[in-house]
Amino acid sequence: MKTCQDESVSPKNTAVSVVGPAKIKNPIKFGRFVQDEDAVLVNISRRNVVGTGKGKKPELVFFEPAGPRDKIYYDTSKTKCAVVTCGGLCPGLNDVIRAIVMTAHHEYRVPSVLGIKFGLEGFIPEYGHDVVELTPEYASRIHEFGGTVLGSSRGPQDPEAIVDALERMNISILFMIGGDGTMRAASKVVAEISRRGLSIAVVGLPKTIDNDINFASPSFGFDTSVETAAMAIKGAHVEATGAPWGIGLVKVMGRDAGYIAAQSALSCQEVNFCLIPESSFDLKGENGFLAALERRMRHSGNAVIVVAEGAGQDLLKGSGKKDASGNLRLSDIAALLKEEILAHFKAQGIKPTLKYIDPSYIIRSVPANANDRIYCSFLGIHAVHAGMTGRTGLVISRWNGRYVHIPMALVTRGKKRINTCSNYWRAVLESTGQPVSMKNSKSK
């Protein structure tokens, strides 16, 4: 299976837009400025190099590196910034906000950074949400707490109304922190700004606990989420080994991609089954999940199962309903597994001890760990550098070990998923010992 990152990109769709030419000398006194000739290679394999047809010379493609430039677009003494957080919570949100505030104030001496409360709703007058003045004093300790000090919300808002609010507040640079839905909304805001001929820059910071944002490797908060999930899995393992026919069942987040489940399984080494959205399975039948679980139980007497929330949706009746962000509401795969496991063993006169743990909301609401805290700081810092140069319609990300500018159109082109033919997934299978496939031949 191909991942979104295997799709070819060309120099045309890696170019970053600007609101105008940068002519003002950068006031930063220390450090190296990024030069125009600097670049970060996009392509990491021959198969996605552009122009490899017969008679064509391979064309390497590059992302623009992040970092300060020697010339900026905005007059720092008159620049006003705004920050908004959208969608679900994720470890590191406050760290990103703090980095933006500190860089804007201490490096560029901007007079004001405003915090927009409760997501895109904060731009709409009818909701009546307050605006917060984000000073260094206000932001200095926020990284110690989970969640976002600005609050968040889901659901679309009118791009025209958002730009109206930006004009009323005299905002020069808007920093939008959110997932692919937020980046699509940001693209519409950029288009409306362009239609009006305004000089407002919009910089995105990609946020998703599922680690499924295209060209973000990884997304911030992912390391923390895996670390927190691992604690729950270790608890499930203790429960499973402490009772006859003990089974630990842990559900983690992962709507379309099973990265948290897979990475947690590799981290713990105690997981026996890792179920993800990218790899479908049958429950019953000689090659199905229940048969594999029974073989494990008869051999070892216990088992730990980690399931991503989006796994096995084909086994459930969908609700057909959508949430405020437009995502289909998932059915509860963990509830089905629990019911089917107990029924399967009951039919054989066996009463297993099954402990079900769902740490999902704990995972996404804890403060960031050390690695994510550093990562978030760099993302916020580079977002300010990009915005001050007048760059717009871009996302700050890390690619091939470097921080880069990626056009929003690339980020929103698709979602990143686990390639089940990759060495990464093979490592998960080797760690868990689960079958390569839990599909019966007739359903393959």
Q: Catalytic residues, which ones?
A: 210
Q: What is the three-state SS of the chain?
A: CCCHHHCCCCHHHHCCEECCCCCEECCCCCCCCCCCCCCEECCCCHHHCECCCCCCCCECCEEEECCCCCEECCCHHHCEEEEEECCCCCCCHHHHHHHHHHHHHHHCCCCEEEEECCHHHHHCHHHCCCEEECCHHHHCCHHHCCCCCCCCCCCCCCHHHHHHHHHHHCCCEEEEEECHHHHHHHHHHHHHHHHHCCCCEEEEEECCCCCCECCCCCCCCHHHHHHHHHHHHHHHHHHHHCCCCEEEEEEECCCCCCHHHHHHHHHHCCCCEEECCCCCCCCCCCCCHHHHHHHHHHHHCEEEEEEECCCCHHHCCCCCCECCCCCECCCCHHHHHHHHHHHHHHCCCCCCEEEEECCHHHHHHCCCCHHHHHHHHHHHHHHHHHHHCCEECEEEEEECCEEEEEEHHHHCCCECCCCCCCHHHHHHHHHHCCCCCCCCHHHC
What are the structure tokens assigned to 289, written together? Answer: 């999940």
What are the structure tokens assigned to 268, written together? Answer: 């713990």
